[in-house]
Structure 1
């Protein structure tokens, strides 16, 4: 049984308990992060904690932990769970009140919970070993604050299930103007004419950490041009390459969208160059 952390205590995961009046349980009133760790080396730790702290501020949860406090917790959890290939899940809810009431309560102590789970080994830049993904598309029916990494994920779950039920690996979302925003659990990139394109950040999509690192790596260490602009659904279908990115997948190549073949139907050369550069610098952030 893996070891978890709950409110200052390390304990077996199956012994971790929260109050049924915890607002994370009742309302999804909290913020979370998932940080990959390979052999005890965290990927994107700084940006992940920056995003968590920003999210906590946006929903007015007061938890003044420093980056070093979070790093110590992550490293201790990884060590206690064998320092293999692990995802580190960090979760802060507003805490447990004495009643169920929608307004933010005063004087409530936030609940801090963390655990690890096994993940595959770090992706390698090798077309023969890379997994090709197939995805569905659908109109995004979630709330309009998707830039907040809230624990209230029912909308994402329902969209993911829609693709899963159709035998696909993900669901790419678009708005009422047929503009691609993100996927249910990933950011989206396309490649056209050698140019890497991804939707700009706004309230419609999460500022993904893999997205952030990938853009920075491509700009600093490759000659591949990167553009942040609107992508239409038609452009998605007619792209040379499509990628979905997340902390667990890194850069995942997509070869089928709604049953339509992307490009040649093979994993592309631009993906290979991007994954090569990403793999060389994944621990720099």
Structure 2
């Protein structure tokens, strides 16, 4: 089935979608993105993703070409046109297509941002709990990981390193401490306490992360935001990661060390249950 996608104000069959070869998202990864989950035909945490989108655009001095209200309507229309019950909506905004390739940003009056959205159908998205194995790799990305840009080559390479090692994902390490997963925020649990790295330019300010930590505190779980090492993670009682597409996913092995006998941890499973229950109440 051919999907309907959205490109600069038009709904088109994916086979007819086109952008310029001079688009700066293509040439320089000069673009930001968001991924919003769809459950029961409704968007999860849409407002959070819309607010982070605005922040990412602002940090790159990029114009915001679409209002939050119009963006929600585009999301809803794509869900309707493509019959999405469970899945994802990918949104990307680039600085646009200049008249030629140049490292310097084009004058905002001479270029319009490119807006692209498409859906991915993923039946069973909320039911899938897959105990994950991760490896540790050096974090050699640029220093502004708090901006959700499309500069994802090294995370993609990290996932391939994990695949080659017979694992599911990679946790990145900088200056001896874990930063985040290739596409997720990461956590360990020790003596009932949830530990995760504090927000900074070093990690993405996860929308799911914020919600999960809020729900954890509401459930009287202790949370500590601080750096931790791979060795500390390997000696934790359990571990997990969060993302918009995986929600809360347990980690049962880090490098060659199993956690919790190789079984998903109680805290991770409980937080996943709470997150899904609460998020569905506010889905739009």
TM-score by length of 2: 0.95
Aligned residue in 2 for 1:149: 148
| Residue in structure 2 matching 1:207, options 205, 208, 216 | 205
Aligned residue in 1 for 2:266: 269
1:1-285 equivalence runs, <5 A:
1-106=2-107, 107-124=110-127, 130-176=129-175, 178-220=176-218, 222-283=219-280, 284=282
Q: Deviations over 1:151-190 (max 9, x none)?
A: 12112112222112212111001112x1111011111011
Note the C-alpha offset of 1:91: 0.5
Note the C-alpha offset of 1:39: 2.2
SS of structure 1 residue aligned to 2:262: coil
1:22 and 1:64 map into 2 onto residues whose CA distance is 15
User: 1:38–1:121: 8 Å Cα contact kept in structure 2?
Assistant: no
SS of structure 2 residue aligned to 1:31: strand
CA 1:132–1:210: 2 relative to 1, 3 Å: same
User: 2:237–2:259: 8 Å Cα contact kept in structure 1?
Assistant: yes
User: 2:146–2:204: 8 Å Cα contact kept in structure 1?
Assistant: yes
1:22 and 1:136 map into 2 onto residues whose CA distance is 35
CA 1:192–1:120: 2 relative to 1, 3 Å: farther
SS of structure 1 residue aligned to 2:146: coil
CA 1:22–1:64: 2 relative to 1, 3 Å: closer
User: 1:78–1:86: 8 Å Cα contact kept in structure 2?
Assistant: no
Q: Which consecutive aligned stretches of 4+ in structure 1 deviate over 3 angstroms post-superposition? A: none
For structure 1, the residue ranges without an aligned partner over 5 or more in a row are: none
Across the aligned residues of Structure 1 and Structure 2, the Cα RMSD in angstroms comes to 1.3
Q: Deviations over 1:64-113 (max 9, x none)?
A: 42221111110011011103212000010000011110111012000000
For structure 2, the residue ranges without an aligned partner over 5 or more in a row are: none
SS of structure 1 residue aligned to 2:248: strand
Query: Number of residue pairs matched?
Result: 279
